[in-house]
Amino acid sequence: TFERLLTGWDGQQVAVRYDTEFATWMFIGVHSTCDGRSGGGTRMAVYSAPEDGLADALKLSAAMTRKMAVCNVSMGGGKAVLAVPSLPTGEARVELLHRYGEFIGSLSGLYATAPDMNTSERDMDTIGERTEHVFCKSVEKGGSGSTAPDTAVGVFHGIRASVEHALGRDLDGVRVLVQGLGAVGSRLAHQLSAAGAEVLVSDVNAERVAASGLPAVDPAAVIGTECDVYAPCALGGTITATTVEQLRCRVVAGAANNQLASPDLADRLHERGILYAPDYVINSGGVLHGTGLELLGWDQPRLDQALRGLGDTLLELYADNGRSPVHAAEALVARRRAR
């Protein structure tokens, strides 16, 4: 399986470490480098087999290359996975993250990390006790903090632009279904509500749904629910060969990474008249946050301008009406990487 995964991947390098004491596989996928470095988040998760964790690291690292290019950041794309037997807490978590920080440090800047699923700014603080190659530590520790609020703002602007293009109107009265009320989705839902949208929400965590105070859709019924915008903000891969035929929306635009189970589904969405906001464009607010504030010396107003710019970038991609916007997005990435 490792051979099949690695020969089918167009990235540069993978670093692997197995920690016996924690029964944890650490995979760092460096898809591309720019000035000898790459960046992207660390995902901590329980996988049924370690190769599933490696597959995630490889696929997500390729998306990071695209995000870095879209954001015009001179860094390549990387992604790491900590495939744990169960999510560690307390002292064990600290010790595991220290060991992981030493692993990152051993790569001498080839890869810098940031938070991703199941890793937080506090975890970045812990990793930062062992290596300097960490973005988004807490503000108290000199970092820029969580990416989620700015990711949500970027997705909000992306939805606004997508609705403008597909429906020729602003958000007032537009029905948006937000799937996943985590760090990004909960903020997004409230921003959309404040802008006058009719927001429906769904989460497998009933407490999060109740806390939102917004009308709920059963998690199993999300795909077939009629709405103007379906905003996937939970897991990736929700659009499959089956679900693409069941969608009853005009726009797919959300925060999740790798929303399409396979790339060809972008064309099928286009054939069905559903506008798809390429995920690595609309959800790149987190990259703008980390790199803008920590690498480029931006202040918050400059960052806010860049987040609004994600909407403009999408409108430019949508100008090529005859095909899925994914093709224009790929062309944009290729142009920027060639510079």
**Could you list the residues that contact ligand NAD (CB under 6 A)?**
117, 147-148, 151, 179-185, 202-205, 208, 219, 233-236, 255-257, 283, 286
Assigned token pair, 205: 């965590």
195 is an annotated ligand-binding site residue: no
Nearest approach in angstroms of CB 102 to ligand NAD is 25
Q: Which is catalytic among the residues 67, 79, 137, 141?
A: 79
Cβ closer to ligand NAD: 99 or 317?
A: 317
Cβ closer to ligand NAD: 204 or 331?
A: 204
Query: Taking the CA atoms of the chain, what radius of gyration do you get in angstroms?
Result: 19
Per the CB < 8 A criterion, the answer to whether 77 and 65 are in contact is: yes
Nearest approach in angstroms of CB 48 to ligand NAD is 17
Nearest approach in angstroms of CB 301 to ligand NAD is 20
Cβ closer to ligand NAD: 99 or 159?
A: 159
Per the CB < 8 A criterion, the answer to whether 160 and 311 are in contact is: yes
185 is an annotated ligand-binding site residue: yes
Question: Exposure of 115 by Cβ count < 10 A (0-12 exposed, 13-18 middle, 19+ buried)?
Answer: buried
Category of 82 on φ-ψ map: left (φ > 0), alpha (ψ -120 to 50) or beta: beta
Assigned token pair, 279: 């995920």
Cβ closer to ligand NAD: 33 or 283?
A: 283
184 is an annotated ligand-binding site residue: yes
* CA dihedral (129, 134, 136, 139) positive or negative: positive
Nearest approach in angstroms of CB 151 to ligand NAD is 3
183 is an annotated ligand-binding site residue: yes
Residue nearest to ligand NAD (CB): 182
- Residue whose C-alpha is closest to residue 225's, from 199, 252, 249: 249
Bridge partners of residue 216, in order along the sequence: 201
Reply yes or no on whether 137 is catalytic: no
Annotated catalytic sites, by residue?
Answer: 79
Binding-site positions for NAD(+) read 180-185
